Amino acid sequence: MMDLEVGEGGDKGPEMDVEAGGAENSKMKGNGSLSSKDRIFRADKIDLKNLDIQLEKHLSRVWSREIESKRPKEEWEIDMAKLDLRYIVAHGAYGTVYRGTYDSQDVAVKVLDWGEDGVATTAETAALRASFRQEVAVWQKLDHPNVTKFIGASMGLSDLKIPRTNSSVEDQNSLPSRACCVVVEYIPCGTLKQLLYKNRCKKLAYKVVIQLALDLSRGLSYLHSKRIVHRDVKAENMLLDLNWNLKIADFGVARVEALNPSDMTGETGTLGYMAPEVLDGKPYNRRCDVYSFGICLWEIYCCDMPYPDLSFADVSSAVVRQNLRPSIPKCCPSVLANIMRKCWDGNPNKRPEMQEVVTMLEAIDTRKGRGMIPDDGSVNCFCFSPSR
């Protein structure tokens, strides 16, 4: 270890002179440059904190790779050599979604973004990995035409390069070594939310409204039959294929329904779709999805957003304490309006099961009702009330 001594006034001590002399002799004998062993470093200029961070990152990568190499492979784990990411599709609270290919099949790849190695604490990393395993555990066993098909997942992506911008050119920086991904079928026509926004002026035909509602209700009924509560039912989490068949996606906060309702509490979901009991921090069960479906049904019919003029705090308070719900247009068929009201009832025990909702929707004769505009494209009835 090098001994550096500096005298008062910045004068070099005797040992510094020796090193300096050695360095000078080396310079005279060589080609004019100092060899690495002859360089002099000032201890007060060494960034020890940064060195610690770099060391932690290195050890983290080594540790992760050793753990992954020793861990037995899960049945759902994919061959990373067959996965190619192309560009970013969307960012979400629980990860980033990319479009890519897996074994020549178009796929969507959701990557859990855990930040740089060495930054997240051990507890944070453990919680994120547990959340990921939970999502995979929920998704891998599902098989229904109205649920996005699970293809596989990976618990480690240390060798995967990903694009950071919306382009096909790969970024040269790798993901953190402990990042994970889940791979599902690629649904080409975007989200239900995007469809509703595109039709915010002309609205959807009544037949289309009922078909979308049936797809969503059948998918949720299937999940509930497997004791799975989605907990984030909203138009943004519903995808559409080329034939406008709706598929439920994003199981990042889904979980198996607890036998004891008191075991499921906390504000989980998206404000505006969250049931009063969830907003109020009370125990809840699958009926919270039924409430969210009621809000989605209103959105599908109206092609509008609930509570556009209210703040998050106002919505939360009014839904719980004042029984605030979206204003149903007068032109909405009574049979559909009744389903909305039943689904978003303030008392979860009074809400129907999703299979009951499916039955009610299947009984609707679309020839006897209409959407926000008639199927022939004539002038719409302007029956929205701006007040909420």
Is residue 196 domain-shared with residue 168, that is, in the same domain?
Answer: no
Quote the CA–CA distance of 175 and 224 in Å, as a whole number: 35
Is residue 342 domain-shared with residue 220, that is, in the same domain?
Answer: yes
Residue 214 has pLDDT above 80, yes or no: yes
Q: List beta partners, residue 100.
A: 85, 107
The 10s digit of each residue's pLDDT in 345-380 is: 999 999 999 999 999 999 999 887 777 754 445 444
- pLDDT-derived band at 388, boundaries 50, 70, 90: very low
Residue 296 has pLDDT above 90, yes or no: yes
Lowest-confidence pick of 80-89, 188-197, 326-335, 366-375:
366-375
Is residue 212 domain-shared with residue 174, that is, in the same domain?
Answer: no
Q: Indicate if 232 belongs to the active site.
A: yes
CATH of the domain at 256: 1.10.510.10
Is residue 100 domain-shared with residue 153, that is, in the same domain?
Answer: yes
Full residue range of the structural domain in which residue 246 is found: 192-368
Q: Got the DSSP string for 209-229?
A: HHHHHHHHHHHHHHHHHTTEE
Name which of 274, 300, 303, 298 is nearest 288 in CA terms.
274
Instruction: Provide mean pLDDT across the span 242-269.
Output: 65
- Entry pTM: 0.71
Residue 25 has pLDDT above 80, yes or no: no
Q: Which of 117, 232, 250, 304 is catalytic?
A: 232
Of the three residues 136, 165, 185, the one that is the final residue of a domain is: 185
Is residue 212 domain-shared with residue 361, that is, in the same domain?
Answer: yes
E strands present in the chain? 83-92, 95-102, 105-112, 150-154, 180-185, 228-229, 238-240, 246-248, 255-256
Is residue 126 domain-shared with residue 244, that is, in the same domain?
Answer: no
Is residue 217 domain-shared with residue 277, that is, in the same domain?
Answer: yes
Is residue 197 domain-shared with residue 175, that is, in the same domain?
Answer: no
